[in-house]
Amino acid sequence: MFRHRLSPPAGLCFLTVALLCGRATAQFSQEGRRTAAGQPAEGLLKAFLGEPLLEKQVVFEGGQRVREPYMGVAVDGTVLVMQNYAKQLRRSEDGGRTWGEAFEVPFGFLDTNLIVDENSGDILSVRLWDGTDRLWRSSDHGKTWTEQPITLKPNEVMKWIERAGLKRRGTWEQQGDSGIYILHANASEAGITLRHGQHKGRLLVSATFRPHAKEHPSDRKPVDSIYSCAIYSDDGGATWQASGLFPEGTTEEAAVAELQDGRIYYNSRSCSGYYDKSLARELRPEEILRREAWSDDGGQTWENLRVSPVLSDGGGYGRGYGMKGGLVRLPVMNRDILIYSNADTAGGNRERLTVWASFDGGETWPVKRLVHESHAAYSCLDAARPGTPGEGTIYLLFEGGPDGPYTAMQFARLNLSWILAGEPTGDGEVPDWVK
């Protein structure tokens, strides 16, 4: 009912045949792609199978503001988890089994993201909305961080509104001021290094364009919409370019994943409902579902908008303003296995944290499984790297504790076998090659 899917990108059928007939060539090409740690960027499917696994532990707790989970997996396999509001980070060097003490980092609250540069091994966090474009860089897998200035190039829409004298780029403190727009990368899932196609090596992370700079994106007329987008760098993080806008407004807090043919899959929160309770109304069916799009040019533009038929944009408290969800493509050669996480409550309360799996790059999502029944909110996904501790493990970090959604953050280790034992969604079938 809500697929609204356009025709596949030109050449997709040809690529499918080519992959089936030329698997050996594709495998050789992908095995040749290695990270700065010298390990293959992608490995074998069997690592994520085996005995079903689900283990959970609390990694942050205290108070009522344990908010905004961020996670990254360094090229040596070190797992970094962060509670953004407190600017606290913890590291695990054994695949998330045990953790070092929490320590403060010089970035956090509001504009935060983690991007692992597989070319250099550095970990980056880009900050855009407080008046000085810069990033923090770690060259020791998250132990220490240094600040450096960056150059941010606006997209054509931003250039136009500035040339026309309508808006100029401002800071978060100026939200609501007339004549101001904001670009930021807050509550973005982990950025990625592209591994395939003509743009391999590019760094890419989702972002948000707020032309009217208001904090809450719902309750808006179409002309006042905010838009998901992305920023990307081809020089290791010194210079960043803002991408074209996502093809639908009232979108933000998004995630990207590169597919094996070089296309980029984009999954975004939708905030088309209402935040102000005085504007209460019955939600339209599509207002509790995620938005999807694809890029054929390395994340420069986004096309083929679709309302997902099954991916819940949960956690809107019945008001349809969605919630940050997790997304990761498993590092498996020749396969486009995506995992997504969110509250499975059809836009209702922030609880029932669930993971969904796709085996065709987001075209269908045939299976899901409940991870955490009670209070749960924002979530973040990543996966262990081939040849590192934890290989074959999926990592999930989420807001959720016994006393409410913001009293703790939990870290879960799980695998694909555990997800496969979940329930069918009716959206496609689990393929035989993964069974």
pLDDT at position 15: 32
Q: Please determine, for residue 61, whether its predicted confidence score (pLDDT) is greater than 90.
A: yes
DSSP 87-111: TEEEEESSTTSS-PPPEE-S--SSS
User: Per-residue pLDDT tens for 279-302?
Assistant: 999 999 999 999 999 999 999 999
Low-confidence winner among 20-29, 68-77, 109-118 (lowest mean pLDDT) = 20-29
pLDDT at position 25: 35
Q: At residue 85, what are phi and psi to the nearest 5 degrees?
A: -60, -30
DSSP label at residue 13: H
What percent of the chain stands above pLDDT 90? 81
pLDDT at position 435: 85
Domain range 42-424, its CATH number among 2.120.10.10, 2.50.20.10, 2.40.160.40, 3.50.50.100: 2.120.10.10
3-state helix, strand, coil in the chain (%, to 5): 10, 35, 50
Looking at this protein, which amino acid is placed at residue 338?
A: L
CA distance 19 to 14: 9
Q: Please determine, for residue 3, whether its predicted confidence score (pLDDT) is greater than 90.
A: no
pLDDT at position 172: 87
Q: What is the mean pLDDT of the chain?
A: 91
Q: At residue 302, what are phi and psi to the nearest 5 degrees?
A: -130, 130
Q: Please determine, for residue 10, whether its predicted confidence score (pLDDT) is greater than 70.
A: no
Residue of 187, 166, 184, 165 whose CA lies nearest to 175: 184
Mean pLDDT of 295-312: 97
In the chain, what's the furthest Cα-to-Cα distance?
61
What percent of the chain stands above pLDDT 70? 93
User: Per-residue pLDDT tens for 367-393?
Assistant: 999 999 999 999 999 999 999 999 999
pLDDT at position 341: 98
Mean pLDDT of 27-38: 69
Q: Please determine, for residue 7, whether its predicted confidence score (pLDDT) is greater than 60.
A: no
Mean pLDDT of 307-314: 96
Break the chain into its structural domains and give their ranges: 42-424
Band the pLDDT of 155: cuts 50, 70, 90: very high
- CA atoms within 13 Å, Cβ hemisphere of 378: 25
More confident residue, 186 or 248: 248
pLDDT at position 11: 36
Residue of 185, 191, 188 whose CA lies nearest to 72: 191
Band the pLDDT of 248: cuts 50, 70, 90: very high
Low-confidence winner among 128-137, 200-209, 214-223, 239-248 (lowest mean pLDDT) = 214-223
Mean pLDDT of 227-253: 97
pTM of the complete model: 0.92
Q: Is 368 left (phi over 0), alpha (psi -120 to 50) or beta?
A: beta
